[in-house]
Chain A
Amino acid sequence: MIPALDISTSALVAQRLRLDTVSSNLANMTSLERDERGNMQPYQARYVVFQTDEATETKQGAVGVKVASVQNEQVEPLYRWQPAHPYAIKEGPKKGYVAYPRINMTAEMVDALVATRAYEANIGAMELSKNMAQQSLRILG
């Protein structure tokens, strides 16, 4: 029973993190960030990569989940014509344009919904494990 609770908890933590990245993407829909060379780049949408977590593996092979990494998407930015903007592109074919992130709001909201439902499903699984543990106390009367 206890390993089942641990596995469900790992799922809760992972889904919570997924919702955090969705919130981050929605909050930064039009923001820029500084990359490692010091230039201002459009914010790239983050997404989480889930992986099985060997630390919670039981003898029978049931495993929990962990967030392996948070990756950045690489998509073409959205260009807006703003020649007076301080971060407008100075030269090249896109001179005078500012690069904004291209974040698909619908996809992010659906992702948030999936994360919420997965969270609820895991809470349901935990309730079942808890019930089973309490029922097994009836063996002793």
Chain B
Amino acid sequence: MTPISRLPLTPPLPPTAAAQPAADAAGGQPFKNILLEALNQVNTMQSQANEAVQQLVTGGDVNPAEVLTTLQKADISFRMMLQIRNKLVQAYQEVNNIRI
């Protein structure tokens, strides 16, 4: 029986997260750490977007175009992470359904 290989994470993640997992996958970092790092980065983008929106609505010195772009980037990375989560859950359920 061939061992189950790690799911490829590099294409769907935002580019900032892509370099790190690719380098560490060869080094054998636990899968959990890769996932947590990616989640942290998505969380950072979300909080950046939050901050930017807050500055915009309170009349701060921030360009509306940049705020909207930050929001859009956070949205894209969140959706990608959501799809990855769906895929992982699907894989886990398939593994669960293996009859012994």
Chain A residues with a Cβ under 8 A of chain B: 1-3, 5-6, 8-9, 12-13, 16, 126, 130, 133-134, 136-137, 139-141
Contacts and interface: CB of A to CB of B under 8 A. Distances in A.
Contacts of A130: 72, 76
A133 B80 CA distance: 9
Contacts of A3: 15
Task: Give the dominant DSSP class at A's interface.
Answer: helix
B95 interface: no
B51 interface: no
Given A134-B79, A140-B12, 6 more contacts: A2-B14, A3-B15, A126-B72, A130-B76, A134-B76, A137-B83
A16 B79 contact: no
A1 B76 contact: yes
B88 to A, nearest CB: 10
Contacts of B77: 2
B83 A140 contact: yes
A6 B69 contact: yes
Contacts of A8: 69
B72 A5 contact: yes
A140 B87 CA distance: 7
Contacts of B65: 9, 12-13, 16
A70 B88 CA distance: 52
A16 B63 contact: yes
B86 interface: yes
Contacts of A141: 87
Nearest to B66: A9
Contacts of A139: 11-12
A130 B73 CA distance: 9
B84 interface: yes
A92 B51 CA distance: 59
Nearest to A137: B83
B3 to A, nearest CB: 23
Q: Which 3 A-B pairs have the closest CB atoms?
A: A12-B65, A9-B69, A140-B83
Contacts of A1: 76
